[in-house]
Chain A
Amino acid sequence: MSARSPRIAPPPGKRTFLEHRPHLFAAFNRFYGTLWSHGVLDQPTKEVARLRNARVTGCGICRNLRFAGAREAGLTEELVDEIRDGFEDGALPERLKVVLRFVDVLLGPAPGEVDAALAARLRAELSPAEIVELALTTTIAQGFSKAAVAWGPAPDIPLTVVPTPRPEGTVV
């Protein structure tokens, strides 16, 4: 764990500097909670995308958080271990490999370069609404991982299972 202090402190008694604008943070939580708890895409697929982002972006907090809903729906630690570079040769179901191929392009330097073959594979696996949610979940998670990394430190935490975000709750 880094001993470095955060580059910006949270307000007294709060956990994140984003709470310097509490009504904005609350609006974010309502959106993120709705996306996770009232969306159309299943939670294990969203969790796979979120954890891939955590590893690509290098957020030690996000990487070891687990949302309970995805676990309860069958996303085991054995499957989580497969969300790594070289996942193509691993044991993930083909549907999740397609998802990760898309997520890697989405998170990369040229998100517009989703080729036609990948787009067709994705559309064969997911509905348009599910693809929209997959893209939103991935890119929003990336933004908040970046915030944790940029304003640091984003230390490695122990594996921690937290409730799936809900509109009335707070992202840990």
Chain B
Amino acid sequence: MRETWSDDGGASAARVERLLDLTPAAASLRAYRDAVWRDAATDPLLLELCRQRLGRLLGLDPRGMKPHPLAVAAGLTPELLDELPRWPTSSRFSERQRAALEFAEQWLLDPSGMTDEHCARLRAALGDQPCAAFTMGLALVEALLRFELALATCLEDDA
């Protein structure tokens, strides 16, 4: 059975948006998020692959994780997302994508365990400007995944 996004996968995202509306910082957060995804140095497919991987590791149901439209426009398919748990060995992923997914997993699990080699592989794969955009993107998508998960319990009646 396919594990990737379903047609109603946007419900959770809409709920997050309603929660964000509770803070005066919502507009500036959305502007920052939009800037990250649309930045010329951001590869939206790469960032979405990492978002999906982090979401699954943190406990989100992948069927509720609607991908960013820019990632879909860049070629993200349900078949590729189905293959995501097998990224270290699957031939569907490029070396560049593997370097980013490796970095993202280490980032999630233990950033202090990041090695010179992890960082060197990512820099070699992306370059310095895309590394800066990717790092800001990774930080933001993880933050919003954690936000979504934690507030599903705390504020289930407020969105």
Contacts and interface: CB of A to CB of B under 8 A. Distances in A.
B20 interface: yes
Contact of A132 (B23, B131, B138): B23
A135 B16 CA distance: 12
SS class of chain B's interface: helix, strand, loop or mixed? helix
B155 interface: yes
A112 B152 contact: yes
A15 interface: no
B39 A24 contact: yes
Given A34-B28, A132-B20, A21 B133 contact: yes
A111 B133 contact: no
A146 B114 CA distance: 10
Contacts of B135: 17-18, 147, 150-151
A112 B24 CA distance: 25
A149 interface: yes
SS class of chain A's interface: helix, strand, loop or mixed? helix
A55 B143 CA distance: 17
A19 interface: yes
B14 interface: no
Contacts of B74: none
Contacts of A149: 111-112, 114
Contact of B25 (A8, A39, A110, A111): A39
Nearest to B152: A112
A155 interface: no
B30 to A, nearest CB: 9
B129 A20 contact: yes
Contact of A105 (B111, B128, B139, B150): B150
B91 to A, nearest CB: 28
B153 interface: yes
Nearest to A145: B111
A144 B139 contact: yes
Contacts of B103: 150
A17 B128 contact: yes
A111 B55 CA distance: 11
6 contacts: A21-B136, A31-B25, A115-B153, A128-B22, A142-B143, A152-B114
Interface of A: 7-9, 17-21, 23-25, 27-28, 30-31, 34-35, 38-40, 57-58, 102, 105-107, 109-116, 119, 122-123, 128-129, 131-133, 135-136, 139-140, 142-144, 146-147, 149-152, 167
Interface of B: 19-20, 22-25, 28-29, 31-32, 35-36, 39, 41, 58-60, 103, 106-107, 111-112, 114, 116, 118-120, 123, 128-129, 131-133, 135-136, 138-140, 142-147, 149-155, 158
Would you list the 6 A-B pairs with minimal beta carbon distance, nearest first?
A143-B139, A139-B143, A112-B149, A20-B132, A7-B119, A31-B28
